[in-house]
Amino acid sequence: MSIFTTIGLMSGTSMDGIDLAVLHTDGIDRVEFGPSLFQPYDANFRRVLADALEDAKAIRDRNDRPGNLATVEREITERHAEAVRSLLGNIYERPQLIGFHGQTILHRPEQGLTVQLGDGPLLARLTNLPVVYDMRANDMAHGGQGAPLVPAYHAALARSKAAEWQDRFPVVFVNIGGISNITYVTANGDPIAFDTGPGNALIDQWVAREAGIPFDDGGRIASEGQIDEAAVSLYLDNPFFARTGPKSLDRLDFTLEPLGNLELSDGARTLAAVSARSILKAVDHMPEPPKLWVICGGGRKNPVIVEDLKRGAERVILAEDAGWNGDFTEAEAWAYLAVRAHKGLPLTYPTTTGCRQPVTGGILAEP
């Protein structure tokens, strides 16, 4: 099978910036890593994105751009193009594809509606590279939730370790971003995946509101607090957790309201516990308990969350312990999915999003 050099672009629900990763892959089981780069958003643009979430509440059709959204979409695309140009200075060969996620501003799977700001054709023109974009829509057109899409890549990573991990399957990948999700991978067969609950988004919102800082760096604030068990129970009593997968969340599905008037560190510690316990509750919806948990995403840098996970699970490692870079797993996934989309291979499965049959997706924009 032909090997593609491709760039994956990811701007996640934490809205802190753009992750870029180069991947050499056949879109099946060959995965080789190239350079990666993080391009942060400045504080002002993060506020612009927060306002965009409010404008997005008025969207009724996925092509709607109420309020300032059309302007924001163009700026997001231009910022991605600038980031690509920065990354191209670190590689020696011309990529054949870009996998472009864009910025999710609305995700309402029960309405068959998901909106990612990002203009694929414009990005293709600005970078002079082919761009695969809009990779969620076809899944929804086939009855899926449109998320999560990373599981196909998680399965490829796990199976690349098949000889080394032959006694560790089933393996679960945990991605702790703004929203957390898991991918359950057996030695063979389609992956199982679903969102598990709040990841970093509520913690970020809490410390921003209470202390005026963007995130709890290294979990330092949470480490000084106590868990409010009543607040944790309010969160975990949400009907979402009792539902079987596939299931997915919007950033706005959970709020800070259950925290009431908690002190700063107690609120951060409580939300860290909610993040970890909601991930551990996912076992209720797995065929059997996993033998290995691999933690990816920004939340793995919060030792309070990780320690809570280690107390509740059999064997927990960070992506780096397996030789991977947990900061760029999602960007790598978008590079991998771009190749699969280009080859017409499935991006999603009934066991990951609830689509009626395995489906491909994405739209190719030529420069």
Q: What is the mean pLDDT of residues 2-18?
A: 91
pTM higher than the cut 0.75: yes
Flag whether pLDDT at 239 surpasses 90: yes
CA-CA distance, 138 to 315, in Å (whole number)?
A: 36
Percent residues over pLDDT 70 in the chain: 100
**Spatial distance between the Cα atoms of 169 and 187, rounded to a whole number of angstroms:** 6
Distance CA(7)–CA(42), nearest Å, equals 23
Do 15 and 107 fall into the same domain? yes
Range 116-139 average pLDDT: 97
Q: What is the pLDDT of residue 123?
A: 98
Asked if the model's pLDDT at residue 212 lies above 90, the reply is: yes
Contacts of 261 (CB under 8 A, 6+ apart): none
Q: For the segment 303-348, what is each residue's pLDDT rounded down to a tens digit?
A: 999 999 999 998 999 999 999 998 899 999 999 999 999 999 999 9
pLDDT band at 49 (very low <50, low <70, confident <90, very high): very high
Task: Kindly state whether residues 302 and 352 are assigned to the same domain.
Answer: no
Q: Indicate if 361 and 270 belong to the same structural domain.
A: no
> Based on the domain organization, do 223 and 254 belong to the same domain?
yes
Q: How many domains does the chain have?
A: 2
Question: pLDDT at residue 26 above 90?
Answer: yes
Q: What pLDDT is recorded for position 110?
A: 84
Model confidence pLDDT, tens digit, residues 159-192: 888 889 989 999 999 999 889 999 999 988 889 9
Same domain, 176 and 315: yes
Q: What's the mean pLDDT in 200-212? A: 95
% pLDDT > 90, the chain: 85
Residue 96 confidence (pLDDT): 97
Q: Are residues 161 and 211 in the same domain?
A: yes
How far is residue 201's CA from residue 149's CA, in Å, rounded to a whole number?
19
Q: What is the DSSP string of 327-347?
A: TSHHHHHHHHHHHHHHHT--S
3-state SS, 176-225, equals ECCEEEEEEECCCCCCEEEEEEECCHHHHHHHHHHHCCCCCHHHHHHHCC
Per-residue model confidence as pLDDT tens digits over 97-122 = 999 999 999 988 888 899 999 999 99
Residue 140 neighbours by CB distance under 10 Å: 23
Q: CB atoms < 10 A from the CB of 229, how many? A: 10
Average per-residue pLDDT in the chain? Answer: 94
pLDDT digits (tens, 9 = 90+) for 30-47: 899 999 999 999 999 999
CB atoms within 10 A of CB 43: 9
Q: What is the pLDDT of residue 109?
A: 86
Helix (H) or strand (E) holding 35: strand 31-40
Cβ–Cβ contacts within 10 Å for residue 48, how many? 17
Give the confidence band of 1 by pLDDT, cuts at 50, 70, 90. low
Given a cut of 80, whether residue 207 has pLDDT beyond it is yes
Q: Give me the pLDDT at residue 250, please.
A: 81
332 shares a domain with 313: no
* Pairing between β-strand 316-318 and β-strand 131-133 as defined by DSSP bridges: unpaired
Mean pLDDT of 190-217: 94
What's the average model confidence in pLDDT over 348-360?
95
| Predicted confidence (pLDDT) at residue 251 exceeds the cutoff of 90 | no
Domain that holds residue 335: 4-148+328-365
236 and 223 in one domain? yes
Per-residue three-class SS string for 233-298? HHHHCCHHHHCCCCCCCCHHHCCCHHHCCCCHHHHHHHHHHHHHHHHHHHHHHCCCCCCEEEEECH
On whether both 225 and 286 belong to a single domain, the answer is yes
Task: Single out the residue in 322, 341, 356 at which a domain terminates.
Answer: 322
d(CA 295, CA 154): 11
Does 172 share its domain with 275? Answer: yes
Query: Does 42 share its domain with 171?
Result: no
CATH of the domain at 315: 3.30.420.40
pLDDT of residue 77: 98
Same domain? 90 vs 106 = yes
